[in-house]
Amino acid sequence: MNPFSSGTRLRDMIKAIRACKTAAEERAVVRKECAAIRSSISENDQDYSHRNIAKLMFIHMLGYPTHFGQMECLKLIASAGFPEKRIGYLGLMLLLDERQEVLMLVTNSLKQDLGHTNQYIVGLALCALGNICSAEMARDLAPEVERLLLTRDPNIKKKAALCSIRIIRKVPDLAENFSSPATSLLKEKHHGVLIAGVQLCTDLCKVSEDASNHLRKNCTEGLVRILKDICNSPYAPEYDIAGITDPFLHIRVLRLLRMLGHGDADTSEYINDILAQVASKTESNKNAGNAILYECVETIMGIEATSGLRVLAINILGRFLSNRDNNIRYVALNMLMKAISVDSQAVQRHRTTILECVKDSDASIRKRALELVFLLVNDTNAKPLTKELIDYLEVSDQDFKGDLTSKICSIIEKFSQEKKWYIDQMVKVLSLAGNYVKDNVWHALIVAISNAPDLQGYSVRSLYKAFQLSSEQVSLVQVTIWCIGEYGEMLVNNVGVLQVEEPMTVTESDAVDVLESCLTHHSTDITTQSMCLIALLKLSSRFPPSSGRVKEIITTHIGSVVLELQQRAIEFNSIIQRHQNIKSSLVERMPVLDESTFISKRAGSSQANISTEKSNQQLPSGASLKLSNGVAKPAASPLVDLLDLSLDDTPVPTSTSNDFLHDLLDVGLTNSSSSGVASASGTDILMDLLSIGTPVQSNTTPENGSSIKAKPNTATVQVVDLLDGLASNGSHPGAQSPVHPSITAYQSSTLKITFSFTKQPDKPQVTQIHATFMNLSSEAYTDFIFQAAVPKFIQLHLDPANSNHLPASGNGRITQTFTITNTQHGQKPLAMRIRIAYKVSNQERLEQGQINNFPPGL
């Protein structure tokens, strides 16, 4: 016989499982037991079914699946004996939950058991029903339960009452049926029945308005009497807990009184006295007493109480607050949050104690206290409260800092009446917990600074000082960088010094030092580094003597592997080197950012990053001309919304740059359309110019022009330097004597194409061909596109042509360069098919041909 047959006693199985050292061992034992149980169930073994279910329950508690035992539970419930029924119901309650359909099968057994003669069996059924019945079962069996509410046996009565609670929770419509039985329960003497009855009435009030009125009319008196009795009763050993008679009943009655008195002035008046009596008489040195007081205070807050009673309540809460027991303090803080709406003055008196709680060692208490403090802040106490909170921020735990920081920032923003205080507090918060500050918070700070011209010098100096002390806080660093960039000269020349400031001299090189150290220390944070680069550019304009040093620093990043940084470095370098004339106007002071627009934008959209320069937004292609903005305008005028990038009304600072950019665009336009079969990535760069796909930064426009230089790494492409050589697209790089003679590749009555060749000595397979197109007709050609096809062993790279407009009669030419790589150089000669499309007087023409007369050796 199987040693692990169902003959094993429950105790032995438990011992065996506990003796297992590893999870695998335990699984093995459990599996064996389950197998034995399963076979026993299928053999319909009556003797051991009790034991089997007990074992299954234990296995279930360990966490293993036990659904095969569900039907066995049903069988046990249906059997005649009390022990089987008992374990069956227990198994049912543990192994099943109300959502399983198997539960419906029990309904019949339950019905029979509810009518059983043995009161304990009735009790079992009521218990099971009360714990896991579903809505359908509740509906089916409600009449039985109602009937049982009226029996004489208190045990059955109280169980039936609690079962009814579940029924009306599941099926609220049935509430009316239970109203009158519930009221009669309140006249009982047995405490168990009373507790269950009061609870039933409370739930009835929650569910049905009628029941609530009914109870209010008929039962208030009775309830008050009950409370009075137990409050004044002498020592009753059966119900005594910590010197109080039946605190549970106290609490339940108080809760029901709260529900009845809520919103009803008469009832509230009626129960005033008893509440006052309970509140003053109950001793609060033990938890039971405190529980009653807590419920009492909740009730006072929940009804229309007299002011005297309210004062009493708040005093109790004040006492709770200073109690050493953490639980009591927690409960008090919770209650005070509700009390604020009732009487905020009284709560304000306890502000100091509450502030102490913010610093408590218990996390739950800290959280509650912080929320409470936040509710308590008003205009008068905002400043001292903020100071306290910031002081605490320094020493608080890491996991609490995030919450604390965001609360402090909201307080500062809401209640700041003067800009200087706001800036001061924000600088402090940033220095202490900058890493926890959300982005929109320090963006708001920047907006505020830019709107306060008299405080700009002060701000930049405070930030500089703060930076010296806490340069690991990223947000602080970012704000400092921006401000130094914008207001650098105020920092160095001590502009706008306020009286409270200590004298401080900062030289230009100090300022540049700051930026340089940021670049090195925050080498992983691309945002910070990008901001540094542009701040350096601004400084090179504001501090002309440091321009050289700035240039050096920028140059070190030209080789950066991060595209954004490399791009910026190259562009700025180019600006410094070659475009001194426009540099100063490029980096003039940014216009004042409109605070109200900012705030509404921030409320509206989550991506309002107006004041920062790290936004990587796609600029809409139509508004690609980001002209540099002029001096700070007065706040009232319509301001630049950097996101929308609508063209500013201020005229472009220099007209030369305008034409220059215009040409640039023009060139871009034509070239982009003349991409050949294999278009060079040079074309992509120009396409980018139009759509500004690369994340180029806000206020310097010729960056767009120099973005063409931003991809120097593609080896096969001739990087077209449009700025330097606008029209000289066809110019050859370096002096390379043409080894091969030029040919006339194609000639028709309307078009002549000439090819000239250049090769580099070290690359025999690569040939550069310069094509020149000449219009032989008397009408001009427009939309001129040249395309070429080559055999498979040849690779072709086509550069953009310099124009797509070919004037008539050879008055102008179009030149285009392409590179051919002959992988079978020396074995097969070059060959090419060409196709030219153009428009003459708005009619499209197409010419095709094949070129076979390439010089040999290409």
How far apart, in Å, are the Cα atoms of 771 and each of 644, 793, 850? 43, 21, 15
Answer whether 232's CB lies under 8 Å from 241's CB: no
Q: Shortest approach of other proteins to residue 435 CB, angstroms?
A: 25
Q: Rule CB under 8 A: is residue 179 a binding residue for other proteins?
A: no
- Applying CB under 8 A, among 162, 347, 774, 801 the residue interacting with other proteins is 162
Strand positions, DSSP E, 776-827: 782-789, 794-798, 813-822
Amino acid code (one letter) for 13? M
C-beta closer to other proteins: residue 65 or 761: 65
Q: Shortest approach of other proteins to residue 359 CB, angstroms?
A: 15
Q: Rule CB under 8 A: is residue 182 a binding residue for other proteins?
A: no
Alpha-carbon span 31 to 169, nearest angstrom: 39
Enter the tokens of residue 140. Answer: 């089916």
Enter the tokens of residue 594. Answer: 């409109």
Give the containing element (helix H, strand E) for 617: none
**Binding to other proteins, residues 367-426 (CB under 8 A):** 367
C-beta closer to other proteins: residue 247 or 730: 247
C-beta closer to other proteins: residue 298 or 799: 298
- Applying CB under 8 A, among 22, 345, 352, 361 the residue interacting with other proteins is 361
838 - beta bridge partners? 845
C-beta closer to other proteins: residue 196 or 484: 196
Alpha-carbon span 173 to 182, nearest angstrom: 16
Q: Shortest approach of other proteins to residue 188 CB, angstroms?
A: 13
Alpha-carbon span 168 to 559, nearest angstrom: 74
The answer for residues whose C-beta is within 8 angstroms of residue 354's C-beta and 6 or more apart is 321, 333, 336, 369, 372, 373, 376
Q: Shortest approach of other proteins to residue 129 CB, angstroms?
A: 9
C-beta closer to other proteins: residue 93 or 678: 93
Q: Shortest approach of other proteins to residue 121 CB, angstroms?
A: 9
Alpha-carbon span 647 to 626, nearest angstrom: 7
- Applying CB under 8 A, among 36, 73, 142, 195 the residue interacting with other proteins is 195
Q: Shortest approach of other proteins to residue 364 CB, angstroms?
A: 6
C-beta closer to other proteins: residue 72 or 588: 72
C-beta closer to other proteins: residue 86 or 614: 86
The answer for residues whose C-beta is within 8 angstroms of residue 415's C-beta and 6 or more apart is 377, 378, 379, 382, 386
For β-strands 751-760 and 763-775, DSSP reports them as antiparallel
**Binding to other proteins, residues 207-266 (CB under 8 A):** 238-239, 241, 246-249, 251-252, 255
Q: Rule CB under 8 A: is residue 774 a binding residue for other proteins?
A: no
- Applying CB under 8 A, among 56, 86, 357, 450 the residue interacting with other proteins is 86
The answer for residues whose C-beta is within 8 angstroms of residue 360's C-beta and 6 or more apart is 326, 329, 366, 369
DSSP 648-712: PSSPPS-HHHHHHHHHHHHHHHHHHHT--SSB-HHHHHHHHHHH--S---TT-THHHHHGGGG-T
**Binding to other proteins, residues 455-484 (CB under 8 A):** none
In Å, the largest CA–CA distance within the chain is 126
**Binding to other proteins, residues 7-26 (CB under 8 A):** 11, 14, 18
How far apart, in Å, are the Cα atoms of 5 and each of 16, 45, 122, 676? 14, 12, 34, 84
- Applying CB under 8 A, among 157, 191, 443, 797 the residue interacting with other proteins is 191
Q: Rule CB under 8 A: is residue 33 a binding residue for other proteins?
A: no
**Binding to other proteins, residues 105-144 (CB under 8 A):** 118, 120, 126-127, 130-131
Enter the tokens of residue 143. Answer: 């009449």
- Binding-site size for other proteins (CB under 8 A) equals 72
- Applying CB under 8 A, among 138, 174, 291, 537 the residue interacting with other proteins is 291
Q: Rule CB under 8 A: is residue 366 a binding residue for other proteins?
A: no
Q: Which among 85-93, 430-438, 793-801, 823-831 is the span making contact with other proteins, rule CB under 8 A? A: 85-93
C-beta closer to other proteins: residue 193 or 373: 193
Alpha-carbon span 213 to 267, nearest angstrom: 11
Q: Rule CB under 8 A: is residue 727 a binding residue for other proteins?
A: no
Q: Rule CB under 8 A: is residue 56 a binding residue for other proteins?
A: no
The answer for residues whose C-beta is within 8 angstroms of residue 611's C-beta and 6 or more apart is 443, 446, 447, 450, 593, 598
Q: Rule CB under 8 A: is residue 72 a binding residue for other proteins?
A: no
Binding-residue pattern over the window 315 to 354 for other proteins, x denoting contact by CB under 8 A: -----------xxxxxx-----------------------
Q: Which among 142-150, 154-162, 749-757, 837-845 is the span making contact with other proteins, rule CB under 8 A? A: 154-162
**Binding to other proteins, residues 271-290 (CB under 8 A):** 287-288, 290
Enter the tokens of residue 390. Answer: 């910031």
Alpha-carbon span 758 to 261, nearest angstrom: 100
